[in-house]
Amino acid sequence: MRRAGGSPSSLDLLVSGRLYIGGSLVEAAVGVEDGKVVWVGKPSLAPPAEERIEAGDGVVVLPGMVDMHVHMRDLGESDKEDWFTGTLSALAGGVTFVADMPNNVPPMRSVEDLELKEAEAARKAVVDYGFYLGFPRDVGELARAAEFGVVGMKLYPRDLLEEALAAVLREAARLDLPVVVHAEDPLILRAAEAALTKDVVLHGKLRPPEAEAQAVRTLSYLAASLGFRLHVTHVSSLEALRAVAAAKAAAKVTADTAIHYLCLDEGAVGRLGGIAKVNPPLRSRRDVEALRLAIRSGLLDAVVTDHAPHRREEKLSEAYDAIPPGFPGLELCLPLLVTLIAEGALLLRALDLYSSAPARLLAVPKGEIAVGRDADLVLLNVRERWRVRGDELRSKAKYTPFEGFEVRGRVAKVFVRGTLAYDGGELLVEKGFGRRYSPARGEGGALG
């Protein structure tokens, strides 16, 4: 905050060291005033500042990470996660903005539903956030939700069978609202379920890559003919990547993958059973390599966690249908990315896919150390190696398919809008510090 008596030419905060700017690490300094980045340049040219922080040896300064696909639960599922534990998890993982999915109890199908979520988030969140609308109660609800400020609409496989689908997508096009799709063709899933035994070891066959590829083809056809902005989330397979590549040639289509598809293969389901059950399923090593290549080559536009906490008892259920898909990921995604980069599987620029790229897709002023953006900064100790332990997670879900993984990079400090929110494992802001963001699309505000 700018103090009334402070010198008018002095910044609130100056952070210097090795900064991640424009896809590489450079010796630089970033100046902060009123929660915004107001100056970036050589440390020797830096203006005076009331507080100065120097990132020491082995520490890099990154923009706050942006996760465009998380499930904070709360409301009727606060036993799984709530807006405090979920956003604390984010903070510990160097994530300063999360976009929350609408499959809540109750589901987010109207502005009234979103207001219920807003009431919980506003008093508990410790990082900033945005909301998606689910399949709307009626077509008119989309315009109200856009006015409310949702970052997009999310479609699930079953929504592809809705009678109002075309009308809803046409309205999304008119409102320029991004449509984020969980692409798995519901009819192919149904056929696979009818033909196979429902057993978690067959999860990959019960939800085959062809279901994913087919849904991408259907949606991209609709995107090209109706003109809405299609974003395919958590692409898991080579087949779906091929469909995404074809779709990009025909329409304005973007796509992401989730961190687990870049690190884990179907072997995890054999080892861990329901803990590793996720939709779409973990695939073969061939798919993992294809996804890494798709990131290196620029085919994919973002990386997400799909942070999806559930109760441990549910994840350990015997019956296939009783095991809910997903697991927590917010605390691990950045260290896992840094580890993949250190191992040479991804390029340094892959960090953009978890920061500036999703921020641009959602039109929020985050994810980049640049003048006009929020001063969300992460000091990451890249020398530190540590072993993942589920019971140490801040999430209510104290298990992970990454149990025992050795990763690199420990989040040391996190600034959110210029305020030191997290330091050495300690939370320094009050519950409710987080703010909801609406897209600033077309107003020139978000991108400065």
Burial degree of 298 (CB within 10 A; 0-12, 13-18, 19+): exposed
**Residue number, 306 or 331, with CB nearest to Zn ion:** 306
**Residue number, 239 or 306, with CB nearest to Zn ion:** 306
Residue nearest to Zn ion (CB): 306
Is residue 256 involved in binding Zn ion (CB under 5 A)? no
In 281-402, the DSSP E strands lie at: 302-304, 377-387
Please state the closest distance from residue 418 (CB atom) to Zn ion, in A.
Answer: 31
Which of 13-21, 298-306, 330-338, 369-377 is the region at the interface with Zn ion (rule: CB under 5 A)? 298-306
Please state the closest distance from residue 130 (CB atom) to Zn ion, in A.
Answer: 15
Is residue 306 involved in binding Zn ion (CB under 5 A)? yes
Q: Of the residues 306, 352, 374, 376, which is catalytic?
A: 306
Separation in Å, CA 63 to CA 15, 95, 147: 12, 9, 29
Separation in Å, CA 171 to CA 179, 240, 312, 333: 11, 26, 40, 34
**Residue number, 292 or 310, with CB nearest to Zn ion:** 310
Is residue 374 involved in binding Zn ion (CB under 5 A)? no
R_g (Cα) of the chain, nearest Å: 21
**Residue number, 20 or 132, with CB nearest to Zn ion:** 132
Question: Judging by DSSP bridges, how do beta strands 24-33 and 36-41 pair with one another?
Answer: antiparallel
Which of 123-131, 209-217, 305-313, 406-414 is the region at the interface with Zn ion (rule: CB under 5 A)? 305-313
Please state the closest distance from residue 219 (CB atom) to Zn ion, in A.
Answer: 16
Is the distance from CB of 78 to CB of 121 less than 8 angstroms?
Answer: no
Q: Which amino acid is at 406?
A: E
Is the distance from CB of 13 to CB of 50 less than 8 angstroms?
Answer: yes
Contacts with Zn ion, 330-369, as mask; x by CB under 5 A: ----------------------------------------
Please state the closest distance from residue 347 (CB atom) to Zn ion, in A.
Answer: 26
Is the distance from CB of 37 to CB of 359 less than 8 angstroms?
Answer: no
Buried b / exposed e over 172-190, threshold 16 CB at 10 Å, is bbebebbbbbbbbbeebbe
Please state the closest distance from residue 359 (CB atom) to Zn ion, in A.
Answer: 19
* Residue 306 appears among annotated catalytic residues: yes
Which residues of the chain form contacts with Zn ion (CB under 5 A)?
306
What are the catalytic residues?
Answer: 306
